[in-house]
Chains A and B, each alone.
Chain A
Amino acid sequence: MLTVIKNGKVVDPGNVVGHYDVWIMDGSVDEVVPSGEKAIPVDAEVIDAEGLLVVPGLIDVHVHLREPGEEYKETIETGALSAAAGGFTAVCAMPNTKPVNDTPEVTSFIVKQAREAGYAKVYPVAAITGGLSGASLCEYGELKRAGAVAISDDGRPVEDGQIMRRAMEYAKGFQMLIISHCEELSLVAGGCMNEGLTATHMGLAGIPNISESMMVIRDISLAELTGAHLHVAHVSTPESIEAIREAKKRGVSVTAETAPHYFTLTDEAVKGYNTNAKMNPPLRTEKDRQAVRAALADGTLDVIATDHAPHSILEKDLEFNRAMNGIIGLETSLPLSLELVRDGVLTLEQLVTRMSKKPAQILGLDNSLTQGNTADITLIDEHAEWTAVASEMHSKSTNTPFEGWALKGRAVQTIVDGKTVYGG
């Protein structure tokens, strides 16, 4: 079965950039040839990508799909569909489900559910410690065999330095990536938004920047000591960025991500006690936002991930300090990230690197559009104008601070293993 994506602008950084036709044979990339150079057989399925960007499938290394256990917020099926609608061909599902993904059985269940759903691929991330308790190490080898691509206690830090050290050492033996939720809880001390003037005005307890960066610095030190590969989740502060930048210079094996809300919004979005602007780490100040943008540009922050965190009104329609952290993000990530290109912060190639190539590399995958690679491809209309309406998106939850925003750019077709799973 031959499929040809013709006339699109291919952006595959480090491989090809320009007008190419992408030939897909039986689910894999067969050839990438300059547009029109090679006659397309009449029996081929043709996707006309005139005016569209054709990029290696976007990968989101940080989502919460809530299944098993909180299916009223999201299921693997709705989450994977939402991902596909946002242009993602693969997502990494964090382990803070109920039960926690700390056994091969839960990992296998997630793999099975995702395969049955058939939208974006779902790569399970297993827990570092049993029950996210911070107390005992999970079986990283068994988890990897069941399909886990990384380990993380996301949502909670591993507070004990010795346990984190052992986790890194042990994970290294299985070439398992460690994704760290960096947070010094003693400094959070009941805080529920960024420590700043907005919090002072609103009478809400603040969370200082260093509650994040102190733990980033600890984990970098541990990664340096153990040689493990550390990936820092959801970076929001210049202090963390500086620590990561220096660590990279020293040759420490560290990568890092940030989320669209950190380079788009500031803590002012919380005004009016808007719980859809409550997340962890919290939205910071304009100075922090600018630092995040600069770090995406210079590559200190390798990856844009969403931290897609669906919650229902049961968790969000509450007093601000009682509401849970997190927002959905899969379907707003691409347009908000394209804004960085329009603002001149990133080139289009850098954007594809941050949302596709680099996430793939971190997971040990090669998603270049080269012969033999799986055909995971996203077609993007970078000029499409639309209004964000959560109820029209595919997630089960609607907790977004971007409701009603006029957005520009969206995925129009998402192809996984050569098959269209969204749009087209």
Chain B
Amino acid sequence: MKLRNKDILDIESLSAEEIGLILDTAERMREISQRPVKKVPTLRGKTIILFFHEPSTRTKTSFDIAAKRMSADSISMAASSSSLVKGETLADTALTLEAMNPDIIVMRHSSAGAPHMMAQRVKASVINGGDGMHAHPTQALLDMLTIREKLGTIAGKRVAIIGDIAHSRVARSNINGLIKMGASVVVSGPPTMLPFGVEHLGCDVTGSADEAVEGADVVMMLRIQKERQENFLFSSVREYSRNYGMTRERLMRANEGAIVMHPGPMNRGVELTSEIADGPWSVILDQVTNGVAARMALFYLLAGGRDADSD
């Protein structure tokens, strides 16, 4: 089985079978990172451009490591060093990158839809590394990989996503992916942080974090951006963390063995207490580890295509 599209732009355009294929592939990739020599020659001679138009350390590093472990040549291009700051349009940047014959372009951009624009203009595969409030498909894939690793399966699990759902590309991609893979999802946050029509996204909605956690197998906390305070989405960090932050007491409402996730970087004491972040239920670092594996899997499926074991 192969992926149908040349690009990974959002979870919507992936079928459940394709997500399954990516997760299966990622599981095999995980082992490579545990070897003394963490490198396979699979993507030797392939060029991967990491085009990050928005600041990112974690995601970019994860993609970069994934590329190097597959022996691809990865080149970073940050907005501050690119011609975009010199006034070049994205359409022209796309043509310029295309002229250098990359195999994959990983793209992060502050504008929703920018990776779509890129994908229409280049022959290379485009992987969306996060676009505006739209999508962050590799985050959702690594989250699903982590849930499958820790709980054995995604289907039938109850996942609570808590925080600024409206402005979160992580939430959008996860809601879509988790429901597609058979989980039930409940989202919670102050009404200012719930997007228009959230009830039509196929998930449950509650204003109470306690209610959301009730019976959950997975509790996924979203990062609160403190600058959102200026946009009147919440009045104080104290009030937010009291009502929506994860504490041990609140977590006790979840199912036994429930795991706590966070896409990072986390604000300790805001979205979750340190006790939660560092406790046995926390799989936050496993998410980071799985991020590399999931991205290796995507590189492999998009640029390699041959079975990883044969290398």
- Where the two chains meet, the residues of A that have a C-beta atom closer than 8 Å to any C-beta of B are 189, 195-197, 199-206, 272-273, 313-314, 317-322
CB nearest neighbor in B for A194 = B196
**A318/B112 in contact, CB under 8 A:** no
Task: Say yes or no: A195-B169 contact (C-beta < 8 A), given A202-B113, A319-B113, A321-B132.
Answer: no
| Cβ 8 A contact of A203, one of B90, B131, B200 | B131
A197, A203, A205, A321: which has the most chain B beta carbons within 10 Å?
A203
Contact A196 B111 (CB under 8 A): no
A201: chain B residues within 8 A (beta carbon): 12, 172
Contact B116 A203 (CB under 8 A): no
Whether B109 contacts A319 by the Cβ 8 Å rule is yes
B114 surroundings in chain A (CB, below 8 A):
319
Contact of B111 among A189, A199, A200, A321 (CB under 8 A): A321
Q: CB distance A273 to B89 under 8 Å?
A: no
State whether A196 touches B197 (Cβ < 8 A). yes
Q: Which of B89-124 contact A (CB under 8 A)?
A: 89-91, 109, 111-114, 116-117
- A317's partner among B12, B91, B113, B131 (CB-CB below 8 A) is B91
Question: Are B196 and A204 neighbours in the complex by a CB distance under 8 Å?
Answer: no
Q: In the bound complex, how far is the Cα of B109 from the Cα of A322, in angstroms?
A: 12
Task: Say whether, besides A204-B133, A273-B116, A321-B132, A199 and B169 are in contact (CB < 8 Å).
Answer: no
Q: Are B197 and A273 in contact (CB under 8 A)?
A: no
When distances are taken between beta carbons in the complex, the residues of chain B under 8 Å from A317 are 89, 91
Residues from chain B with Cβ under 8 Å of A322 in the complex? 111
Known contacts A319-B111, A320-B111, A320-B113, A200 near B198 by CB under 8 Å: yes
Complex interface: chain B residues within 8 A of A313 (CB): 91
Alpha-carbon distance between A321 and B131 when the two chains are bound, in angstroms: 12
Most buried by A among B12, B113, B195, B231: B113
Q: Beyond A195-B196, A203-B131, A320-B112: 5 further Cβ-contacts under 8 Å?
A: A196-B197, A200-B196, A202-B112, A203-B112, A321-B111
- A189 proximity list for chain B (CB < 8 A): 231
Q: B134 near A: Cβ within 8 Å?
A: yes
Residue B201 CB within 8 A of the other chain: yes
Across-interface contacts of A273 in B (CB, < 8 A): 112-113, 116-117
Mark interface residues in B192-209 (1 if CB within 8 Å of A CB, else 0): 000111101100000000
Q: A195-B196, A200-B197 are in contact. Are A321 and B89 (CB under 8 A)?
A: no
Q: Which residues of B contact A206 (CB under 8 A)?
A: 196
Q: How far is the CA of A273 from the CA of B117 in the complex (A)?
A: 8
Q: From B112, B132, B172, B231, name the one whose CB has the most chain A CB atoms within 10 angstroms.
A: B112
Query: Distance (Å) between the CB of A44 and the closest chain B CB?
Result: 55
Q: Whole-angstrom distance between the alpha carbons of A320 and B111 in the complex?
A: 7
Inter-chain contact B132/A318, CB cutoff 8 Å? no
Scan B222-264; emit 1 where CB is below 8 A from any A CB, else 0: 0000000001000000000000000000000000000000000
A407 to B193, CA, bound (A): 43
Least distance between B198 CB and chain A CB atoms (Å): 7
In the bound complex, CA of A319 to CA of B116 (Å): 9
Output the least CB separation between B170 and chain A (Å): 11
Q: Is B197 a contact of A204 with CB atoms below 8 Å?
A: no
Residue pair A204, B132 in contact (C-beta under 8 Å): yes
| B302 close to chain A: CB less than 8 A | no
Instruction: Tell me, in angstroms, the Cα distance from A322 to B116 when the chains sit together.
Output: 15
Residues of A near B113 (CB, < 8 A) are: 202-204, 273, 319-320
Distance in angstroms from B91 CB to nearest chain A CB is 5
Nearest 7 A/B pairs, CB to CB: A203-B134, A273-B113, A319-B111, A203-B133, A203-B112, A197-B197, A200-B195
A200 and B201 within 8 A (CB): yes
Smallest CB–CB gap between B105 and chain A, Å?
16
The answer for the CA separation of A318 and B116 in the assembled complex, in Å, is: 11
User: How distant is the Cα of A320 from the Cα of B116 in the complex, in angstroms?
Assistant: 10
Residues of B contacting A321 with CB < 8 Å?
111-112, 132
B112 and A204: CB pair below 8 A?
A: yes
Listed A/B pairs (21) with beta-carbon separation below 8 Å: A196-B197, A197-B196, A197-B200, A199-B196, A200-B195, A201-B172, A202-B112, A202-B113, A203-B132, A204-B113, A204-B132, A204-B133, A204-B134, A206-B196, A317-B89, A317-B91, A319-B90, A319-B114, A320-B113, A321-B112, A322-B111
Contact partners of B112 in chain A: CB under 8 A: 202-204, 273, 320-321
Residue of chain A at shortest CB distance from B53: A319
Contact partners of B169 in chain A: CB under 8 A: 203
Contact A319 to B117, CB < 8 A, known contacts A195-B196, A197-B196, A273-B112? yes
Shortest Cβ distance from A189 into chain B, in angstroms? Answer: 8
Contact of B134 among A195, A196, A202 (CB under 8 A): A202
Q: In the bound complex, what is the Cα–Cα distance between A322 and B131 (angstroms)?
A: 14
- Which residue in chain A gives the minimum CB-CB distance to B134? A203
Give complex CA distance A243, B134 in Å: 35
Complex-state Cα separation, A204 to B201, whole angstroms = 15
Structural contact, A318 and B90, CB atoms closer than 8 A: yes
Interface: B23 (CB within 8 A)? no
How far apart sit A94 and B128, CA to CA, in the bound complex (Å)? 40
Q: How far is it, in angstroms, between the C-alpha of A116 and the C-alpha of B114 when the chains are bound?
A: 43
In the bound assembly, the distance between CA atoms of A352 and B231 in angstroms comes to 47
Question: Is B135 on the interface with A (CB-CB < 8 A)?
Answer: yes
B240 to chain A, nearest CB (A): 21
**Nearest residue in B to A314 (C-beta to C-beta)?**
B89
Q: How far is the CA of A317 from the CA of B201 in the complex (A)?
A: 30
Chain B residue numbers with a CB within 8 Å of A197 are 196-197, 200
